[in-house]
Amino acid sequence: MNAIPVTIVSGFLGSGKTTLLNRILNSDLASRKGLKIAVMVNDFGELNIDSQLVVSAEQNMINLENGCICCTVESDLIEQLRKLLQLREGRPDVILIETSGVSEPSKVVNTLRYPEFKNLLTIDAVISLLDAEQFTQLEGTMKRLAMDQLSVADIIVLNKTDLVTDKQLQSLKEQWLFPKASVYETQYANVPLPLLMGVSSAEQPPEFTAPEHACSESCSPQNHTHGHTHSHSQQFSSMSWQSEQPLHLQQLKQILTNLPSNIYRVKGIVNLVEVPEQRCLVHKVGSRLSIEKQDNWQVPKNSQLVLIANSTLDKEVITMQLEEALAVNNYEQLDKRD
Amino acid sequence: MSLADTSFPTGKNYRSSHTGHGVGKADTVFENGHIYTVNSDSEWAEAVAVKDGFFVAVGSREDMIPYIDEHTQIVDLKGRFCMPGLYDMHTHPDLTLAPGYAGYLDVGLEDPTPEQVKEAILSYAKSNLDREWIFGQYFVHFQFKRDGIEANRSWLDSFISDRPVAIHDRSWGCILVNSKALELAGIDANTPDPRNGYIERDSITGEPTGILVDGAYALIHTVMPPTPAHALQRAYQEAIHYQTSRGVVGTKYVHVCENRLDALKVIDDAGEMTLRVEAAISWQDDIFPVRRRWELLAGERHYYRSDRLSANAIKFHFDGTQGSYSAYLSTPWPGESDWRGGLNLTPEHITDMVVDMDRRGIRVIAHCVGDGASDMFLDAIAVARKRNGPNGVRHQCAHATVLLDENLPRFAELNVVAEFSPVGWLPEPYARGREVLGKERFDRMYNFKGVIDNGGLAVMGTDWPVSNINCWIGFEAMMTRKNPWFDNDETFHGQPISVAEAIRVMTINGAHCMSIEETAGSIEVGKSAEMIVLDRNLFKINLQGNVHNTHVDLTIMSGKVVWDRNGELVDTPQQAPLKPENVQNFYERMEG
């Protein structure tokens, strides 16, 4: 059984978390792609669940017609996760956890990394939403929470940017963001799902670019919160890269860490010089990069990476960079030095 | 100065059959009170006479006359309500207070930058050359990200590598340690993760990065020096002061090690232990290491024994908690097909240990939240009674959050005390969290009445810091099952008990729980003279909202006034050693 990817969404009250969750729940991920999404929230009341879609509801779990599950995290996240993993039928393909406005998302992240969940769950992405308008002067507990949310985030979604001036936006960034932060600026929590969730892009053919959507008068905010996939910010592009040559770990790390900021995701399997026997899984979301050992190679040792960006990718430049990490090139460099 | 003044230490006048009895008649007569004795043969009295720390007469003012001579001090109770002192049968002052008094590193800034953390560590290292470990709080992940610095052991190693360093993250979700600390703790790529946490590792090499999460702290704590003696002494002393000021005369400090017992002995030897303490040796090593556990259990514990201090008990955690859904239930948790919770020991381990401890005369205090855990505990005691005889030690089922109805008579049959902690008796959000146990179990929660009606002994423990150390809050809630601070009718599940029943729970039942019921726990001739004088009569007030804030005017321990709230006995032989200004109030807000 593959580990279930988990996306954590944090942010203060009013930052757009619920809008984003509703957008995901109502997207075509469930209806067209048949993905079973489990959404863990603090309070059902926040979600706009169409009662006609509810198949069954008990205590703190609601089953929807499209296979999605909504549950509340009462006092214990661990037990709620155990429950989800133990479901006889309808084990979710992906889990979304909304952390309450007052809890520290770092604790949720820590919990998901417990040994008992190691092979069952994998952290896909940690998203923190920031309300550009409200997120200015915070003090005390709120300030601490904000720091926790930002420091644990893979991608920081700067929401409601239309409500502030460029100057305000600039000062907010200076005060709260850090050099390597991966930031996505938007309104109405309108973030392309492929950036937030690995599964939503998994079946996209490489080179796929969502059609541009011409925003018209009819695109009211309400429309956008429904999250139809045709909305104008859903544009993204991707590229794939592969090589039969093994890669050097340190170089690869460095290149992936310093990719252009419009690349929000990198996923793939690589063949490393340092780990000749095993496949290594590369997972980069926003500012977080992990390279982990997997099972032994069975097939020809091919490195394959898929990169996803929210705008056009300069494929040539990126290909050139990645090739610098190839072992053969290093030898060439060494040769040249001799 | 005479020779006698300088050559001899303060003497102790211990009492035995033919020695230690003071001359003359009663030392003190307390008169003019409404004294509720908790002695069913004679429930009320208006005066008591005390000699050598024991009640020699309990009755009317006239009954006292034969006990009064020229040295007898007469104390006027001014018509106030009096009762035996209270018993808090489960609390943890050391865990609550001592870490704060240990002199650990405190960076002391709201949002310290990595540079400021570094400076603080270096300066602490310089001024604490006698301490090997540099341990404390805190760093802020956010600030490291701002500076583009990875919070890992290499960063710490870059400026301090010769001494072990461990510093908490601000949200206390993790601890950052240097390579020296990892080395001393024996943590490397091969160390398995603990059950309730993990060692953050390099994903390729498996080497620890220096970040230890949640349960992984314990790996460091076990190699660190124990909490310093001065911090433990201060923690216990402050708790004793507080408890004395609230009328507590008997308590249990549950989970101790040799260092904690040493700290308690210092207080006892100084004559400052103004209540009786039963300290339960900890079976756990995940709270703090107990290095001399088996020496203590084998007999070393007797070294600490006095009238005020005993360590003839051991504390186990049989199951987990409601909060983490790990309490061990009799049937699966609501919504679960087979998850009954976790039992920390196998039933065979529990049985063998209970039988062994029972044979040694050591009381087993077993943390049993779920009705499955307590069932297992009672089964183990049944085996102990069979093997060791029926008159063994009285054991204690701690928390007893939910009990099976079938087990209610077994507390009396097997001579086991049911101890309830007040975290859930009153309707407030934290207690509502207990409702996760499922509807079917609600009315069986904190079943004082069920245990009492079946002839068993029920007691209470504040379980500080899990709930407030002021035992009057729980005292009120067991009689009302309502919230003391809100004037509404919302009632928590289960049955309240009567005032008389609750007073027994708080007094004589506690004495039973400490196995001193023959000599304490009620106001009777021949018993140790413990009594409290209150500012209100518990039988004559509207209970909700009016018991938790009761003021104890006088606390009398072994015939001596040890607490005098209003200073009414200043400059008399009964002047209390404890001054009100020396009592720290930990929860002022909750007593109003």
Asked whether the beta carbons of residue A293 and residue B433 sit closer than 8 angstroms, the reply is no
Per-residue confidence at B365, pLDDT binned at 50, 70, 90? Answer: very high
* Position A225 in a domain: no
What pLDDT, on a 0 to 100 scale, did the predictor assign at position B172? 65
User: How is residue A284 written in tokens?
Assistant: 């980069």
Please indicate, yes or no, if residue A147 is contained in any of the structural domains: yes
A45 with A103, same domain: the answer is: yes
* pLDDT score at A225: 36
The CA distance from A245 to A276, in Å, is 11
- 3-state SS, one letter per residue, for chain A: CCCEEEEEEEECCCCCHHHHHHHHHCCHHHHCCCCCEEEEECCHHHCCCCHHHEEEEECCEEEECCCCEEEECCCCHHHHHHHHHHCCCCCCCEEEEECCCCCCHHHHHHHHCCHHHCCCEEEEEEEEEEECCCCCCCCHHHHHHHHHHHHHCCEEEEECHHHCCHHHHHHHHHHHCCCCCCEEECCCCCCCHHHHCHHHHHCCCCCCCCCCCCCCCCCCHHHHHHCCCCCHHHCCEEEEEEECCCECHHHHHHHHHCCCCCEEEEEEEECECCCCCEEEEEEEECCEEEEEEEEECCCCCCEEEEEEECCCCCHHHHHHHHHCCEHHHHHHHHHHHC
- pTM value is 0.70
3-state SS, one letter per residue, for B331-356? CCCCCCCCCCCCECCCHHHHHHHHHH
Residue of B nearest to A76 (CA): B324
| Helical pair A249-257 and A315-323, crossing angle rounded to 10 deg | 150
Residue with tokens 């040994």: A115
pLDDT in tens, B157-173: 999 999 999 999 887 67
Assess whether A179 and A265 both reside in one domain.
Answer: no
Q: Which residues contact B549 (CB under 8 A, 6 or more apart)?
A: B472, B484, B591, B592
User: What are the structure tokens assigned to B100, written together?
Assistant: 């704060």
pLDDT number for residue B116: 96
- Residue B592, pLDDT score: 45
B127: tokens are 């001024």
User: What is the distance in angstroms between the CA of the first residue and the CA of the last residue of chain B?
Assistant: 50
Show the CA angle centred on residue B410, arms to residues B380 and B507, nearest 5°. Answer: 105
pLDDT of residue A203: 46
For the ranges A59-68, A77-86, A205-214, B63-72, the one whose mean pLDDT is highest: B63-72
pLDDT at residue A162 above 50?
Answer: yes
More confident residue, B325 or B485: B485
pLDDT of residue B237 exceeding 80: yes
CA distances from A338 to A251, A331, A332, A333, B441 (A): 21, 11, 10, 9, 79
pLDDT digits (tens, 9 = 90+) for A164-177: 899 888 888 888 88
Q: Does residue A217 lie in a domain region?
A: no
Contact call for residues A260 and A307 (beta carbons, < 8 A): no
Higher per-residue confidence, B46 vs B371: B46
Inter-residue contact A236 to A209 (CB < 8 Å): yes
Distance from CA of A291 to the nearest CA of B (A): 6
**Which range (A118-132, A201-215, B89-103, B455-469) has the least confidence?**
A201-215
Across the interface, which of B148, B193, B337 has its CB nearest the CB of A179?
Answer: B148
Question: What is the pLDDT at residue B524?
Answer: 98
| DSSP bridge pairs for B232 | none
| B259 band by pLDDT with thresholds 50, 70 and 90 | very high
Cis link prior to A264 (omega < 30° from 0)? no
A interface residues, B as partner, C-beta within 8 Å: 58-59, 61, 74-76, 78-79, 82-83, 86, 88, 104, 106-107, 110, 113-116, 143-144, 147-148, 150-152, 178-181, 249, 272, 274-275, 280, 290-293
Element (H, E) at B201: strand B197-201
Mapped onto helix, strand or coil, the DSSP state of residue B413 is helix
Which of A116-125, B325-334, B438-447, B529-538 tops mean pLDDT? B529-538
Work out the percent of chain B whose per-residue pLDDT is above 90: 67
Using the 3D structure, point to which of A189, A209, A229 is the last residue of a domain.
A209
Looking at the structure, tell me whether residues A199 and A271 fall in a common domain.
no
Half-sphere exposure of A73 (CA within 13 A, CB side): 20
**pLDDT confidence band for A330 (50 / 70 / 90):** low
Domain that holds residue A72: 4-209
Question: Which of B146, B434, B435 is the best mutation test for A, with the most CBs of A within 10 A?
Answer: B146
Q: Which residue of B has its CA nearest to A139?
A: B110
Distance (Å, whole) CA B36 – CA B47: 11
Residues A74 and A23 in one domain: yes
Instruction: Tell me, yes or no, whether A171 and A256 share the same domain.
Output: no
Answer yes or no: do A139 and A189 share one domain.
Answer: yes
Is there a contact between A148 and B334 if contact means CB atoms under 8 Å apart?
no
Q: Does pLDDT of A219 surpass 60?
A: no
Closest listed residue to residue B422, CA positions, set B497, B358, B352: B497
Whether the per-residue pLDDT at A47 is higher than 80: the answer is: no
Closest CB from B148, B213, B334 relative to A180: B148
What pLDDT sits at residue A84? 81
Instruction: Indicate whether B333 pLDDT > 90.
Output: no
Q: Provide the token pair at A15.
A: 């930052």
Q: Residue B233 and residue B224: Cα distance in Å, rounded?
A: 19
What's the average model confidence in pLDDT over A241-256? 92
- Which CATH number do you get for residue A311? 3.30.1220.10
CA count, 13 A, side-chain hemisphere, B66: 6
- d(Cα B153, Cα B363) in Å, to the nearest integer? 45
- Into how many domains does chain A fold? 2
Does B465 sit behind a cis peptide bond, omega within 30 degrees of 0 on the bond before it? yes
- Averaged pLDDT for residues B484-503: 85
On the CB side of B349, CA atoms within 13 Å amount to: 8
Alpha helices in B165-208 (DSSP H): 179-185
Instruction: Tell me the mean pLDDT in the region B546-569.
Output: 96
Amino acid identity, position B246: R
pLDDT of residue A282: 93
Q: Are A205 and A246 in a shared domain?
A: no
Q: Identify the CA nearest to B350 among candidates B367, B338, B333.
A: B367
Q: Could you tell me if A147 and A279 lie in one domain?
A: no
Residue B13's SS3 state is: coil
- Tell me the average pLDDT of chain A: 78
Q: How confident is the model at residue A191 (pLDDT cuts 50, 70, 90)?
A: confident
With beta carbons less than 8 A apart as the criterion, state whether A26 and A222 touch: no
Note whether residue A219 is domain-resident.
no
* Residue bearing tokens 């925003």: A215
Per-residue confidence (pLDDT) for residue B430, from 0 to 100 = 53
Integer Rg of chain A from CA? 21
Please tell me the predicted confidence (pLDDT) of residue A218: 42
Q: What is the mean pLDDT of residues B473-485?
A: 89
User: Rounded CA gap, A289 and B39, in Å?
Assistant: 72
Q: Which of A166-180, B175-189, B305-319 has the lowest mean pLDDT?
A: A166-180
CB contact under 8 Å between B144 and A110, yes or no, is no
Quick one: pLDDT at residue B468?
84
Task: Return the residue matching tokens 């599950």.
Answer: A69
Q: pLDDT, tens digit, for every residue of B268-285?
A: 999 999 999 999 999 987
pLDDT value of residue A25: 79
pLDDT of amino acid A79: 75
CATH code, domain with A173:
3.40.50.300
Residue A68: what pLDDT?
74
Q: What is the edge-to-edge ordering of all strands in the sheet holding A278-285?
A: A237-243, A303-309, A263-270, A278-285, A288-296
| Binary contact (B324, A151; C-beta < 8 A) | no
Last residue of a domain, one of A209, A227, A262: A209
Count contacts between A and B (CB, < 8 Å): 94
Based on the domain organization, do A245 and A178 belong to the same domain? no
Residues in contact with B539: Cβ distance below 8 Å, sequence separation at least 6, in sequence order? B36, B81, B499
Second CATH level (architecture) for the domain B103-221? Roll (3.10)
CA distance A250 to A327: 11
Probe site for chain A from B109, B142, B428 (most A CB atoms < 10 A) = B142
- Best CA proximity match to A310, nearest among A254, A256, A260, A241: A260
Q: CA nearest B321 in A: which residue?
A: A76
Residue A231 has what pLDDT? 40
Residue B128 has pLDDT above 90, yes or no: yes
| pLDDT attached to residue A338 | 41
> Percentage of chain B with pLDDT > 70?
93
Interface residues from chain B to A (CB-CB < 8 Å):
111, 140-148, 169-171, 173-174, 193-198, 200, 203-204, 213-214, 322-325, 333-337, 339, 433, 436
* Structure-model confidence comparison of residues A298 and B32, the more confident one: B32
Q: What ranges do the domains of chain B cover?
A: 103-221
Backbone φ and ψ for B136, nearest 5 degrees, come out as 165, -155
